[in-house]
Amino acid sequence: MLLNHRELSAFLAIARLGTINRAAQAAGMTQPALSRSLKRLEETLGAQLFRRLPGGMVLTEFGRALQRHAEMMEFETTRVVEEIHMLSGAATGVVRVGLVPSVVASLFRSALLDVNRTAPNIQIRVIEGAGDQMLEAVVRGTVDFAVIGRLQVDAEPGVVMVPLGVEEVCVAARSEHPIFSKADLTLADLGDYRWALPEKGNAIWHGFNDLFRRRGLEPPTPTVATNSVHTLKSIVSEDDYLTMMTRIVFEVEERYGLMRPVPLPEALWQREIMVVRRPRSELLPAARLLLGELERQAGALDGRDAGGEGV
């Protein structure tokens, strides 16, 4: 049995928008034409796909089963078209990527330049946030893939996590913070100061807690908790708070003397950066291109670090 592509598209429009009227407008069809398309599809399958309720159209069990397959067919059709465009040198498409702030400030900037040179017609939509938020975005399908710090949680079913590289994480403060005048600074001394940290669940939050607990110390309770890196940097650069963050994130503030790392080697650590995605076979060509460039940039960075040229 062959299914009609236009009828499947009409079916998906109704499933996503909930009414014949909205689906018809989105598809550029009249309501009667869309209704006839749905009727033909139901007759072909011999099953009712929607329950018609006063508030709109609700998928039946048969409709939910068809939706999964129809979306897969839609995805594969788009992938084939983009693959052909990529091979012909006329690459197009939209990549939706979730990134933690440190990756935006480092790998992504370099990768973006190379992607633009290779395929200038590709559109890249970046969603920035904490690692746990980006993991959830991959699970929900709102991004094609994400690059995050390793979380202390198991990967969701159907999601793979692959190491990409490492980043330096440190304790930081504004340059005039009194901690810089303290002699013989120890990890225990850090508990005497106010802290502004990422919210619980963030990869750096886990690293912060582990840093103290491994040495038998109780982690300081943060005065401020936020998943906004901009908020953290604003607070720390203007008042006497300590924070913990990836060093690349406050690179500009360090360059202009606004913030600097706290000189305590035992508080430095390397966090692993992970690519989180659905299986590689599901990535569209444009997404594969961006991911490939991110992987290449990470490999080049590791090479510089190994040669002693990195920070």
Amino acid 301: pLDDT? 60
Mean pLDDT (the chain) is: 85
Mean pLDDT of 25-54: 91
Per residue in 109-127, pLDDT (tens digit) is 889 988 888 888 888 989 9
Per residue in 119-155, pLDDT (tens digit) is 888 889 899 888 888 888 887 777 889 999 887 666 5
Mean pLDDT of 250-269: 93
% of the chain residues with pLDDT over 90: 45
Mean pLDDT of 250-262: 94
% of the chain residues with pLDDT over 70: 87
Split at pLDDT 50, 70, 90, the class of 169 is very high
Q: What residues have CB less than 8 Å from 38, skipping those under 6 apart?
A: 7, 10, 11, 14, 20, 49, 50
Amino acid 118: pLDDT? 82
Q: Is the pLDDT of residue 167 over 50?
A: yes
User: Which residue do the tokens 């304790």 mark?
Assistant: 171
Q: Is the pLDDT of residue 189 over 70?
A: yes
Split at pLDDT 50, 70, 90, the class of 61 is very high
pTM of the model: 0.62
